[in-house]
Structure 1
Amino acid sequence: MDKTDAGGLAHLDYLDGWRGLAIGLLLLGHFFPVPGFNLGRIGVNLFFVLSGLLMARLLFIKATPLPLFYKRRISRIFPALFALIGLTLATRWWVSGPIDWMETVTAALFLNNYVFTHVGHAVMPFGHIWSLSVEEQSYVLLSLVALGVRRGWCRALPVMSLASVGCIAAAFWYWHAYDSATLEFQLWYHTEIAGYGIFASAFFLLLFQRVRMPRLPAWCYPALALLALVPNWWSVPLPVGMTLSVGAMALLLNLLPAAPAAIRQLLCLAPLRQLGLWSFSIYLWQQPLYLEHYWHGMSSWLAAPLSVAAGIGSYYLLEKPVRRYLNQHWATAGETTSATPPMSEKLTLDRPER
């Protein structure tokens, strides 16, 4: 915890391991699926709860200026994403392959979690951008809440509580009002449902700034991990599974500072942390190979390592250098100035010593 991240907060190595676990489960779910469990969905939800924690740290703990917040989100996501879209379009044009412009535009505008042009068999390899759409839409909502907090219009903790409960209510209402196929393939990707992990994780982070973080018995942590996994069994209704599983993920992640050191050390294993470092690029570039595997029969043992290799190449050739360049050339002065004092002056972020 002696390192500092780009946002000026303590960099926690076990969070890199959490990312590695998330992308690892997603790759298993795509290329080596386990019957009965959607490991890909579990991996995406692990990413969501981590995003909720990190964005809440920036917006509500450090009170990062909103222009700087958006610039860092752009430098993180846009270069690699639009490289994927551009290269896909160029390749399709070169080989006279099919191009669906509606799929392309909705992905580029982060709207393809609401606009579905080909349910079940997309033309373009952009279906996975639904999760980035959820995150970007949630970031806008979180930044608006942060603005309200800084203006004295609202308090973050009650709003995050209401947002989490609202997501659960929406999931159960959709489950009651629509057939299971519509829920599974369209409505489930809406932010008012899928954003639950982001808002719940932000809620727990803010809660543990207000009340003493509990020190649970060691067995509670693997029990929470099991609760995060088991409700994803195929026969569990989606709203029930989401409420239990994603809620357990969000709670477990926020309790890690008080967990036994051995648990954090597992997440700090070098291979897992390294995989986490590459995770965003791997997530982006695995989709074309996943579709080759799923629709055209490419071997899992070829598609999976190629996905990792493509992601590593993208990370070192594109994501890392472009992100560094943008962060260095944008207004870094905003990192230390804010219209209101950071909440971190009043609240401590991690309390593992207590």
Structure 2
Amino acid sequence: MKFRTDINGLRAIAVMAVVLFHFNPSWVPGGFAGVDVFFVISGFLMTGLIFRGLENNNFSIINFYVARANRIIPALSVVCLALLVFGWFYITPLDYKAIGKHVASSIGFLSNIIYWSESGYFDASSHSKWLLHTWSLSVEWQFYMIYPVVLVLLKKCMSLTNIKRLLVVGTVVGFIFSVYATYRWPDMSYFFFPTRAWEMMMGGLAFLYPLQNLKETSKKYLEWVGIALILASYAFISKDNLWPGYLALIPVLGAYLVILANRSGSVITNNIVMQKVGLWSYSIYLWHWPVVVFGYYFEMQYWEWIGIPISVVLGFFSYKFIESIKFPALSSISFKSIATLKPLWMVMSLGLIGSILFVNITKKINDIPNINKYNMASKTVGYCFGSPGSGLSSADYLTCQIGKKSNDPRVLLFGDSFAGQYEPTLSILGKRNNVGILSITTNSCFPTFTKSFNGPKSHMGYRQCMMNRDFVKNNYKKFKLIFISGRWDGFFRKGNNHLK
């Protein structure tokens, strides 16, 4: 197929909307509909590949799968590998466990099912899932696996003309089912292949029934109407709307019309910016969401102004150095030839690594005894947390340790009762790892370097709170790790720099 600059520009329109929406939904409230535009494009291209092969009687399902794998898997593998390496050093064990699970499901193209089982796409927890965006790749891959098989089987019992007619019916039925399922099972419908298949089939109809001998003026108007529909969906639809219900027809129809118009000389899609972004669109899509989550995870201010350029740069490098690699097609349909496919080894390796990480971290977490069986941490049951005025000397609050007792503890737990609640867990971890933890946890003494604490100077614990403060302020540099916890409400109002 001749390179279609209009479709490449349409990719840019899609990815730009998705990126802007994910970084700041208020900019493009319906930007998530860019994924639906991608689905239409994918359906058009895949239908073209399959039907040309069927018409020439040389279509190979295996070669089709290999070509898709060579296109999709390498860049996705690099993103997954980067997250595994980054997460090892900077992500908490619980979150890293999730990364292992999501890498395995993403590289195995089952992530849409996993994410549906965990939560909805627009839930607050979505920003803790570094590979959430791969659900759309899983949907596409499932389409690639099923669609050619169905068409090849149909070819054995009916003509290509009748298959085309059947696809028209299937697209209409698929749309009706999607509308019903969206209202009946909204979360499932967002993620599942059956409710998205009609969008890709709609792209297929654009290939099967092109508009012939259309004048250039008519093409221009058709393109304008299509782009207007897409932009309208970006502007007037939001995450508050059920999706992909009947409203999904707006961006899908828009993309369909742009493809039908087939305007290679369009100033909208065929300019240097849209063409470059279109070429990099897949890689930009792959990288932008981890960059979004990075900003949320580390609470970066005004992250969109930094994250969007970073996403584009990463997308460019991914396209130039990974996507541009031409992985070989199969030399023959044999086990030996299939076993040499690099993308297959990427899938197997990353899937295995992700699964092992998930299982091992889960086991370690499950091995920790049930903390619920322990009483509240207190001096009477062997911990350090206590209340001022309980008869203990002031030194008892400054020298008490949990975990593996040490002459020179390098870990500090500092705070009030909100810190004291962590003593049982930290004590277990300290004993298991031979780490001594100095615990300065006194009731009502929140961690501060100022004179403030939870109570007036007349409070009987005021003196102890000040002693805690002074000790930590003078000795904090000798600790390699410090846990701070306290009742922080109101402490960060203007002028309250408690840890200054």
Q: So what's the TM-score if we normalise by structure 2?
A: 0.57
Find the aligned partners of 2:297 and 2:242 in 1 and give their Cα distance: 28
Mean CA deviation greater in 103-112 or 278-287: 103-112
CA gap 1:171/1:146 in 2 versus in 1, 3 angstroms: closer
Please tell me the root mean square deviation across aligned C-alpha atoms, in Å: 2.6
Q: Is residue 182–residue 189 contact of structure 2 (8 Å, CA) maintained in 1?
A: no
Find the aligned partners of 2:50 and 2:219 in 1 and give their Cα distance: 31
Q: Aligned letter for 1:118?
A: E
Find the aligned partners of 2:131 and 2:281 in 1 and give their Cα distance: 17
Q: Are positions 1:246 and 2:252 aligned together?
A: yes
Find the aligned partners of 2:75 and 2:323 in 1 and give their Cα distance: 6
Find the aligned partners of 1:213 and 1:254 in 2 and give their Cα distance: 15
User: For residues 191-206 of structure 1, what are the structure 2 equivalents within 5 Å?
Assistant: 191-206=193-208
C-alpha displacement at 1:19, in angstroms?
A: 1.5
Find the aligned partners of 1:29 and 1:87 in 2 and give their Cα distance: 24
Find the aligned partners of 1:99 and 1:237 in 2 and give their Cα distance: 31
Q: Is residue 14–residue 265 contact of structure 1 (8 Å, CA) maintained in 2?
A: no
Find the aligned partners of 2:230 and 2:219 in 1 and give their Cα distance: 18
Mean CA deviation greater in 129-138 or 93-102: 93-102
After the TM superposition, list the runs of 4 or more consecutive aligned residues in structure 1 that deviate by more than 6 angstroms.
none
CA gap 1:14/1:34 in 2 versus in 1, 3 angstroms: same
Find the aligned partners of 2:10 and 2:332 in 1 and give their Cα distance: 28
CA gap 1:175/1:275 in 2 versus in 1, 3 angstroms: closer
**Alignment match, 2:387:** none
**Alignment match, 1:38:** 30
**Alignment match, 1:283:** 285
The structure with more radius of gyration: 2
Q: Is residue 79–residue 318 contact of structure 1 (8 Å, CA) maintained in 2?
A: yes
Q: So what's the TM-score if we normalise by structure 1?
A: 0.78
CA gap 1:152/1:254 in 2 versus in 1, 3 angstroms: farther
Unaligned runs of 5+ in 1: 1-8, 334-354
Q: Aligned letter for 2:19?
A: L
Find the aligned partners of 1:124 and 1:253 in 2 and give their Cα distance: 33
Find the aligned partners of 1:65 and 1:267 in 2 and give their Cα distance: 33
Find the aligned partners of 2:316 and 2:111 in 1 and give their Cα distance: 26
**Alignment match, 2:75:** 80
C-alpha displacement at 1:266, in angstroms?
A: 2.6
Q: Is residue 222–residue 261 contact of structure 2 (8 Å, CA) maintained in 1?
A: no
Unaligned runs of 5+ in 2: 334-500
Aligned pair partner of 1:271 in 264, 273, 278: 273
User: For residues 135-284 of structure 1, what are the structure 2 equivalents within 5 Å?
Assistant: 135-153=140-158, 155-178=162-185, 183=186, 185-208=187-210, 212=212, 216=218, 218-231=220-233, 233-234=237-238, 238=243, 239-250=245-256, 252-257=257-262, 259=263, 264-284=266-286
C-alpha displacement at 1:29, in angstroms?
A: 1.5
Q: Are positions 1:308 and 2:309 aligned together?
A: no
Q: Is residue 138–residue 195 contact of structure 1 (8 Å, CA) maintained in 2?
A: yes
Q: Is residue 111–residue 130 contact of structure 1 (8 Å, CA) maintained in 2?
A: yes
- Tell me the percent identity: 22
Find the aligned partners of 1:246 and 1:303 in 2 and give their Cα distance: 28
Q: Is residue 223–residue 258 contact of structure 2 (8 Å, CA) maintained in 1?
A: no
CA gap 1:284/1:218 in 2 versus in 1, 3 angstroms: closer
Q: Is residue 89–residue 99 contact of structure 1 (8 Å, CA) maintained in 2?
A: no
Q: Is residue 11–residue 278 contact of structure 2 (8 Å, CA) maintained in 1?
A: yes
C-alpha displacement at 1:58, in angstroms?
A: 0.4
Q: Aligned letter for 1:33?
A: P
Q: Are positions 1:320 and 2:324 aligned together?
A: yes
> In structure 1, the residue corresponding to 2:209 is in which secondary structure?
helix
Q: Is residue 36–residue 248 contact of structure 2 (8 Å, CA) maintained in 1?
A: no
Q: Is residue 164–residue 208 contact of structure 2 (8 Å, CA) maintained in 1?
A: yes
Cα deviation digits, residues 142-177 of structure 1 (max 9, x gap): 211331244244643133223322332222222442
**Alignment match, 1:352:** none
C-alpha displacement at 1:212, in angstroms?
A: 4.1
CA gap 1:33/1:14 in 2 versus in 1, 3 angstroms: same
**Alignment match, 1:16:** 8
Cα deviation digits, residues 7-52 of structure 1 (max 9, x gap): xx2122222212222212222212243467221x222122111111
Q: Are positions 1:59 and 2:62 aligned together?
A: no
Find the aligned partners of 2:91 and 2:229 in 1 and give their Cα distance: 48
More helix, by proportion = 1
Q: Is residue 227–residue 258 contact of structure 2 (8 Å, CA) maintained in 1?
A: no
Q: Which has the higher contact order (CA 8 A, sep 6+)?
A: 1
CA gap 1:110/1:217 in 2 versus in 1, 3 angstroms: closer
> In structure 1, the residue corresponding to 2:112 is in which secondary structure?
coil
Mean CA deviation greater in 267-276 or 117-126: 117-126
User: For residues 83-94 of structure 1, what are the structure 2 equivalents within 5 Å?
Assistant: 83-94=78-89
C-alpha displacement at 1:332, in angstroms?
A: 8.9
Q: Aligned letter for 1:312?
A: F
Find the aligned partners of 1:36 and 1:279 in 2 and give their Cα distance: 18
Q: Is residue 10–residue 255 contact of structure 2 (8 Å, CA) maintained in 1?
A: no
Find the aligned partners of 2:247 and 2:10 in 1 and give their Cα distance: 21
